[in-house]
Amino acid sequence: MALLEVKSIQHSFGGLKAVDNVDFDVAQGRIKAVIGPNGAGKTTLFNIISGVISPDSGNITFNDRPISGLKPWQIAGHGISRTFQHLSLFPHMTVLENVMVGRHKLSRAGILASTLRLPSQLREERDIAAAALRELEFVGLADLAEVAVSDLSFGKRRMVELARALATEAELVLLDEPASGLNTGETAELAKLIMRIRDRGVTVLLVEHDMSLVMDISDEILVLNFGKPIAEGDPATVRNNPDVISVYLGGAFSDVAD
């Protein structure tokens, strides 16, 4: 079943068509990657899906509900969470506090209860902290919960951002170049983690330049070039597509096993 459906999406910046009539869907419980050369429209597409920008035309549905043109917090409320290519964390807050920020979208406490620190709000805050800690355990950072994010390595900060995205209880997580800046070992751990995210029932859509990672973990791949889809399918199909080889892969990944 398609969880996310993108139909005829277009968006231009001035005279440049960054996304040009893109159609695809993401099946529930799958990992789908969007790849392509720099300037192919990948991040623009992510920005449209997550509500950072509105499409010029076309429609997006999530769980059979239209979300085109909604604001980011409205889309998050529907069950879509996102990470960014450039880390978006609060460096002087603790690891746990950063993850709790993601969880607070589920908070029911109002301004009055929060201001007066009513017992109901305090209980909810404890529940939020406990849920955030569970996500830190999931990504392997529970022992660093009280450490300031500024004291972490870049790779561990990536894990904090993933934990925060999961803390929203999203059904779909958008990962924008999650392997960017990671070393080989960290990328291998990231691959395992993304597959574990899928295995717990969360659908994953990612933009990524690390082709070994993409080919290893993706169930399906969409390839963009100059804003247009040029191929779509499983990793083997995409890797052997002549158009994809010509504009993107070249011979650099001929050693990637089928």
- The DSSP code sequence of 92-118 is TSBHHHHHHHHHGGG----HHHHHHT-
Query: 175 and 257 share a domain?
Result: yes
Q: Which of 146, 167, 188 marks a domain boundary?
A: 167
Would you give the DSSP letter of residue 85?
Answer: S
Q: State how far the Cα of 19 lies from the Cα of 13, in Å rounded to an integer.
A: 10
- pLDDT per residue of the chain (258 residues) written in tens, 0 to 9: 799 999 999 999 988 999 999 999 999 999 999 999 988 999 999 999 999 999 999 999 999 999 998 999 899 999 999 998 777 788 889 999 999 988 755 555 555 455 555 565 667 778 899 999 999 999 999 999 999 999 999 999 999 999 999 999 999 999 999 999 999 999 999 999 999 999 999 999 999 999 999 999 999 999 999 999 999 999 999 999 999 998 876 644 443 333
In a domain, 189, yes or no: yes
In a domain, 118, yes or no: yes
Residue 252 contacts by C-beta under 8 Å, 6 or more apart in sequence? 211
Q: Which of 167, 190, 217 marks a domain boundary?
A: 167
Query: 47 and 75 share a domain?
Result: yes
Query: 52 and 157 share a domain?
Result: no
Query: 175 and 65 share a domain?
Result: yes
Q: Which residue range(s) make up the domain with 35?
A: 1-79+170-258
Query: 250 and 122 share a domain?
Result: no
Instruction: List phi, psi (to 5°) of 80.
Output: -115, 130
In a domain, 87, yes or no: no
CATH of the domain at 45: 3.40.50.300
Cα angle: 89, vertex 35, 247; to 5 degrees = 140
In a domain, 209, yes or no: yes
Count structural domains, the chain.
Answer: 2
Beta strands in the chain (DSSP E): 2-13, 16-27, 31-35, 57-62, 65-66, 80-82, 172-176, 203-207, 220-225, 228-233
Q: State how far the Cα of 104 lies from the Cα of 94, in Å rounded to an integer.
A: 15
Query: 109 and 221 share a domain?
Result: no
Note whether 19 and 48 are within 8 A (CB). Answer: yes
Tell me, what's the pLDDT at 117? 59
In a domain, 199, yes or no: yes
Tell me, what's the pLDDT at 125? 77
Tell me, what's the pLDDT at 257? 33
Tell me, what's the pLDDT at 86? 75
In a domain, 185, yes or no: yes
Tell me, what's the pLDDT at 112? 45
Q: Which of 167, 188, 221 marks a domain boundary?
A: 167
Nearest to 166 by CA among 113, 202, 215: 202
CB atoms within 10 A of CB 8: 12
Query: 179 and 201 share a domain?
Result: yes
Q: Per this entry, what is the length of the chain?
A: 258
Query: 200 and 160 share a domain?
Result: no
Query: 162 and 101 share a domain?
Result: yes
* Predicted model pTM: 0.87
In a domain, 202, yes or no: yes
Q: State how far the Cα of 22 lies from the Cα of 244, in Å rounded to an integer.
A: 16
